[in-house]
Structures are given as C-alpha cells and as structure tokens.
Structure 1
C-alpha cells in the first residue's frame, strides 16, 4: 500500500474518531487498522502531532478551518475529511505528504547518520527523506527525496533494497549511493562491490565499483564509469569536483542553502570547476568560485543569491 493511501486512510480515521456518534465497533476497527501495519500507527501519531502544531499558530487560517471541521456536531464526516485533506495538501503540498510522513528526514543543509537495526549504516544528504521497511524476508529503504549513502551489513536471508519511483537498487556487496535527481531520474553510484539496478520496464543491470547507472522512465541505463574522484565526499561534509560544469556545482551548493541561488546555465556555459569546498559554508564556496572564475556573486538578501558572468 502506498504512503499516500495510508495518509488518506489516517485522515479518514482521525475525522471519524472526532465525531460524537462514533461507535464502539468503529473504535475497535480503528485499533485493528493500527495494528495491521506499523505504518498505520505512525501515520495517526504524526497527523495528531500536526493537529497539535496548529495550537502554536493563533488565528492561523488552517487552524480555524480544522477547529470548525472538528467542532462537535453530527453528520459532518465528509466535510471534515475534505477540510483536513485540503489543509494538509495546502500546508505541505501534495507531493510533500510522503516526505512529511517519512521515518527519517533531514532539512536543508543537514546530514543525518543512522544505525539500522541489522547493523547497516545509512547517511542522508541535505533535504532527504526515507522510509525503512525491514521484515523477515527483505530489507527495504524507500528513498522519498534527496540522496542516501549506505554501508550494508551482510544478511544472506534478506536482500537489501533501495527503492524509488523509478526502480530498485539491490546490494550484492556493501557501499553505494542512491540519489533522486531534480530531473526526476534516480542515480545509483557504487563505491564498493556490486549493485543490481532494475527499472520497472527492463531486466536491469549490474553496476560495479566505480560505476553508476541512471534509472529513467522505468529503465536502467547501462553502467558508466564515474568522473567523480570521491563521490561520497558529502558524507564527510565536502564537495569534491574535478573538471565539473559550474552549473552543476552551483546546483549542489544551492541544495545546501535556504532560499534561492539563481543563475542562467547558458551564460555560464563552458565554465568548469575543480576543487574541494566545505558544504557547511556555502558562502565561502561561492566566494572561492568568484575569486577563480569570471563570475560575480550578488547577495540581494540571505535568501536570494544571483550568480552571473563578470
């Protein structure tokens, strides 16, 4: 069952439980629903936490709408459910609901290291989110947003799989990276050993250490040698580039900043970068680029930076 479907069911239950005529059999059915899947209970608790968060926002339109929707009166279930759905979609954005519900997530500029129950190590890059689904048959990490690095603990009985909406990357060894790129593709980069990369519409490919494969439109492209000398440098807070297009470097730095870094890739075409930059000091990185390339970096506010040719 998809995360979106679980969110919808949780909203339905939360609405129904606030009705004054809710029956004991409905309460029992709700308890059974919570116990049927760990994700159900998590969805309810996080939705309740969201409801509580409106208490800290006096006169907020969303809070007023929710209070009216949940005010005790009979026969309002459909209306309340609609209002709750509109509030959640409007406040978070429909595509952000699964990210909000994620088991683990990071904000802009943050990285998070996680020790998984099987002994594997996981690290999330800036503005990333994952769901963790381990059972007796398999270990699944669903990458909802951003990028992850994983060092897989061996378990011959349970394959370790990273899944996105483009396909899967199954560990046949240990360390690899999976990224949901801004263009909608999924990029799988192997640091050590081998990973089986499979789209929804083809048989898949095996990607060796020092290679990457792109999942696009449900197909795994043939593996290519990576240009990066240190593709997981971000796990140590560094951006290492070797003769990379300036636009790609700016896009990476922008993912670590609140606000916008605006630039026209066409006007910066032909400018390439080599070097090492600290991801926790993007202002210093931008200054270094301006010192070494024919560009200027203008700060209109802390939230708007414009990069253009000098």
Structure 2
C-alpha cells in the first residue's frame, strides 16, 4: 500500500467527521477541528475527499427502493446522536465496499488468493507445502532454474521441499527471501516485508542490489526494506505461525496489535481509538475463525466496550 493511501482507520475517522459535518448541528469549532485533522496527513485528506464524493452520490440518487429505506431509517432516528451514527454507518459501509473493490483489483488474476477471513493450504508441484493467510495472494512460477513465489499481498507460510538445483524464492516489493532450509513465514506490511524463520535459515536480499543479503536463522525475525534489512530479533516464546492453526496466540502484546490482527479477518470496519487504548496489553489465545468471540473475550478481560452497529461496523472504546 502506498503510504499516502488512506488506511481503514483513516477512512473510518473521515466517515465520523463527515457524519458530524452533515448532521446539521456542527459548529465552527468542529469544522475547524476537522480541517486540522484533514491537514495533518495526506491520507486524511484523501479519505475525506473520496467520502465527500461518495456522499454527493448518495445525495444525487433518485428515490429508489434502497434510498427510501435509508430515508425511513433516518426519519426514525429522532435523537441527534442516532442520526449522526446512522450517517456514519452509511458512509462507512459505502467506503468499505469502495475500498474493498480498489484493494482487490491488483490481485484478481493472481494464481492463488484468499478472501477476508479465509486461509488456504496447498501442495506445490515440487511437494513444498504452502499456506496463505487471510486476504492474501501469490503468483507461482516454477521452471528449470528456480522456484519463485511472488507474494502480491498478505502473508504466507511455507515448508520447502529439497531441490538443490532450484532455489526456492519468495519475492515482494522490498526484495527476495531465499530458503536455506525449510519452514518460514513472509508477510507484506506497509513499506516493509516481515520474515520469520521457524526452521533452518533464509537469505533476505533487498531489491536494491547494492545492499548485501542478510542471513536470518531459525527462531529469528527480520524486516526487509528495499535498501536494507533491519529489526533482527528473536521470536522467544511467541508463536507467529499460530494463524496456520486458526488461532492468534499472544503473550503480553499491545491490545492494538491484537485488534489490528483481528481486523484482517473481518469484513467491514473494526474501529478503535488508538490513543485511548494504547496502554492496554493482552495475553491469551483467540479464535481467528470467530473474531466476534475473540472480541467478546477481550471485552470480558479488559476495560473496553464494544458497540456493534452491524456486522460491517464494530466500534471499540475505552471503558476506564
């Protein structure tokens, strides 16, 4: 994702700002605060601009069946807070649909891909085992010289079958990961690739060849950038491959990190105030195939409160 492209959290925040501005009750201080938020980040401005366009399209719709339903829904919401929530919900659902379409476009033609909340295991022609995490996509190119997996989005786990004549390589925008052994994870993130080695070792080569490859051994994790490899750490007691078994296992990790991961398994928007929840930490195992149950467990053990508007919008707030 381009760094200026709005994140789902920025889209959700932009929708909330528009719900206030279109409520008919916004005062000058709120309009100024929205302007400050908009100017603080290019992603904020782009999200707000795109949602304004969507909102304009709603205003221009004829009195179709769907629009009549929306009008009746808003008419039933007498309280200003409920009207604002309804407006935000419409914007968020529309934005989610729009962004999902944009994000899916580059990977429609991928050799293998998974949808949101889906995992897929497969055996490759060389008998290597490959598993894709939620919302992931790969192209597979095997020939007489090499075995190449082009990770176009998301995360993969691989157990490599031995073939001394053909190196096994995973490629991302930041560079390549060449297997020197068997089991490892590769995950695309914003501007970087996270590599985790579970057995033996890999060689991480930045896309700018001026930087030498870095060796990452079993039990280690590193970040691959286009011009260098950084962040070499030990895994310790963490279990980064737990998702392959449908579980998110964490030990004293920030709640925000857990919510970010659960959001990858949910359609729609999981919205939370990062600043308000920044101090909370979590330990435990959470089911990835039932993120509603995972969120309920977090609410039981932490001072947070869930507000569920629909399956497309869940808001998490601090309950301190």
- What is aligned with 1:191? 198
Inter-partner Cα distance in structure 1 for 2:100 and 2:276: 34
Structure 1 residue aligned with 2:181, among 173, 177, 195?
Answer: 173
The answer as to whether partners of 2:173 and 2:226 remain within 8 angstroms in 1 is no
Matches within 5 A, 1:204-283: 204-221=213-230, 223-227=232-236, 229-283=238-292
Inter-partner Cα distance in structure 1 for 2:312 and 2:286: 20
Matches within 5 A, 1:76-115: 96-115=104-123
Aligned length: 220
Inter-partner Cα distance in structure 2 for 1:215 and 1:138: 21
The two structures have a TM-score, normalised by structure 1, of: 0.68
Inter-partner Cα distance in structure 2 for 1:111 and 1:127: 8
The answer as to whether partners of 1:120 and 1:153 remain within 8 angstroms in 2 is yes
Inter-partner Cα distance in structure 2 for 1:233 and 1:305: 25
- List runs of 5+ in structure 1 lacking aligned partners: 1-89
Cα-Cα RMSD: 1.7
1:164 equivalent to 2:179? Answer no
- What is aligned with 2:313? 304
Secondary structure class of the residue paired with 2:275: coil
1:119 equivalent to 2:127? Answer yes
Q: Do the aligned partners of residues 119 and 92 (structure 1) sit closer, same or farther apart at CA in structure 2, a change above 3 Å counting?
A: same
The answer as to whether partners of 2:175 and 2:226 remain within 8 angstroms in 1 is no
Matches within 5 A, 1:5-16: none
Tell me by how many angstroms 1:304 deviates.
0.4
Tell me by how many angstroms 1:198 deviates.
1.1
Tell me by how many angstroms 1:204 deviates.
1.9
Secondary structure class of the residue paired with 2:278: coil
Tell me by how many angstroms 1:295 deviates.
0.5
Q: Deviations over 1:89-128 (max 9, x none)?
A: x998676443111000000000000100001000000000
Inter-partner Cα distance in structure 2 for 1:276 and 1:138: 38
Inter-partner Cα distance in structure 2 for 1:185 and 1:305: 28
Higher relative contact order (CA 8 A, sep 6+): 2
Structure 1 residue aligned with 2:162, among 154, 160, 183?
Answer: 154
The two structures have a TM-score, normalised by structure 2, of: 0.66
Q: Do the aligned partners of residues 228 and 97 (structure 1) sit closer, same or farther apart at CA in structure 2, a change above 3 Å counting?
A: farther
The answer as to whether partners of 1:205 and 1:222 remain within 8 angstroms in 2 is no
The answer as to whether partners of 2:307 and 2:314 remain within 8 angstroms in 1 is yes
Q: Do the aligned partners of residues 306 and 95 (structure 1) sit closer, same or farther apart at CA in structure 2, a change above 3 Å counting?
A: closer
Q: Deviations over 1:195-225 (max 9, x none)?
A: 1011123112100111111012432115211
Inter-partner Cα distance in structure 2 for 1:93 and 1:302: 18
Secondary structure class of the residue paired with 2:267: coil
